[in-house]
A and B are shown apart, each in its own frame.
Chain A
Amino acid sequence: MGSEFQDWREFMFWWAASLFAATTVVVARLGLKLYGAQTDFPADPVMAMHWRRRRQYVALAELSALPAFATISVVLVSYQQLNPVAAVLLALAQGFVGFPLLLDGAAFLFRRRLGLQQQAGTPPEGGTNG
């Protein structure tokens, strides 16, 4: 079964399956993170506005990254000749890890590949994950 996708319909099927899997994980994670144990709504109105917007934009970032999760996993499977089920599992893993951590990992890899060293005092992008 495992090999490159021969047909665009096969590609679309596994892409849709990966998208659904990543959506399930991301929505569950967002639900836990935003509506789980955290009920510390700030009393200060300015702080409450920032708090609400931060939550909104974190959710927006995770949800808008979903097509990229599905595409990355399906393209990886297509080029590495893996079993197509691996695309779904990869999409699940990406949804579980989350976009800020993926960006951190990508930045680390590219920095190493380009031979650049991490600049001191630059906070990681993953600091918004909360």
Chain B
Amino acid sequence: MVEILILSVIGAGFAVAALRVALHHTKEIEIIQHRSSQD
């Protein structure tokens, strides 16, 4: 059961990190869209 708890904590941490990367790419897309709409 301890292994499962460790696996869950690692998975949740990895999920948060992946979400932050996804958020970064979403912001980049928004910046590109904003720039192209101004041109």
A interface list, Cβ under 8 A from B? 8, 11-12, 15, 44, 46-47, 50-51, 53-54, 57-58, 60-62, 64-68, 70-72, 99-100, 103, 125, 127-128, 130
Contacts and interface: CB of A to CB of B under 8 A. Distances in A.
Contacts of A61: 14-16, 18-19, 22
Interface in B1-39: 1, 4-5, 7-9, 11-12, 14-16, 18-19, 21-23, 25-26, 28-29, 32-33, 36
A7 to B, nearest CB: 11
Nearest to A62: B15
Given A15-B4, A51-B29, A54-B29, A128 B23 contact: yes
A96 B23 CA distance: 20
Contacts, number: 79
A106 to B, nearest CB: 10
Chain B at the A interface: mostly helix, strand, loop or mixed? helix
Contacts of B19: 57-58, 61, 99-100, 103, 125, 128
Contacts of A103: 16, 19
Contacts of B26: 54, 127-128, 130
Given A71-B4, A103-B16, A50 B11 contact: no
B23 to A, nearest CB: 5
A47 B18 CA distance: 19
